[in-house]
Amino acid sequence: MDRFHTNTALLMATRAVSADLFGFSHLLKRSQLAKKKLPTPLALPAERRALARMFLELSVAFHETIFPVDQTPSEPDPNLAVLVVAVMLGHAEARPMTAGQLAAEVRRSRTTTKRRLDTLIELGVIECINGSYYLEPTRAREVPHRDKFDLILSKAFALLGPYLSKLDT
């Protein structure tokens, strides 16, 4: 193999490994599909793809934090994940919420929210103190699966950063 072909092959292999290392192999496959003529072109396709990927991966990751690290999570339940995030938000803002406030936050009925809160208490994810909901103390002090969240955010912001920096001007 001559030098040109060796360098080209090496460059292609490096890109494939880099894409796979950073979890972007799905983007390579999709970018090949993106050359296909779409009925309606999508504005800001790379940014929207990155945002959608981040949302999906964060949703699944939040769901996985509901379960102990050594336990296989059940089928993702976005309602439980959103409720955990709402409890975490109240806890992080030092304004823990009641069941009614959480229901309003997640735009669900108080009855449904209360039932889901009871499930999260049974799973050991949250606790209720004087009618307000908090993350369970160990989960409050530590960040379960932090490495996964760091990777998801770094991948997304690597793609979204240039677009976001344009908004500052």
**Residue reference for tokens 């160990």:** 138
Q: What tens digit of pLDDT does each residue of 82-113 get?
A: 999 999 999 999 999 999 999 999 999 999 99
Query: Does the pLDDT of residue 43 top 60, yes or no?
Result: yes
Per-residue pLDDT tens digits for 58-78: 988 888 888 776 777 778 788
The CATH fold assigned to 46-167 is Arc Repressor Mutant, subunit A (1.10.10)
Q: Return d(Cα 90, Cα 103) in angstroms, integer.
A: 12
> Which amino acid would we find at residue 111?
T
Residue 6, C-beta contacts closer than 8 angstroms, at least 6 positions apart: none
Spell out the long-range contacts of 116-119 with Cβ–Cβ below 8 A and sequence spacing 24 or more: 116/79, 116/80, 116/83, 117/83, 117/87, 119/80
Map tokens 């209720």 to a residue: 128
Question: How far apart (Å, rounded) are the C-alpha atoms in residues 1 and 9?
Answer: 10
Decide: 80 and 67 in contact? Cβ < 8 Å: no
d(Cα 18, Cα 150) in Å, to the nearest integer?
17
Instruction: Find out whether 117 and 128 touch, Cβ atoms under 8 Å.
Output: yes
User: Tens digits of per-residue pLDDT, 138-155?
Assistant: 999 998 889 999 999 899
Hey, where are the domains in the chain? 1-34, 46-167
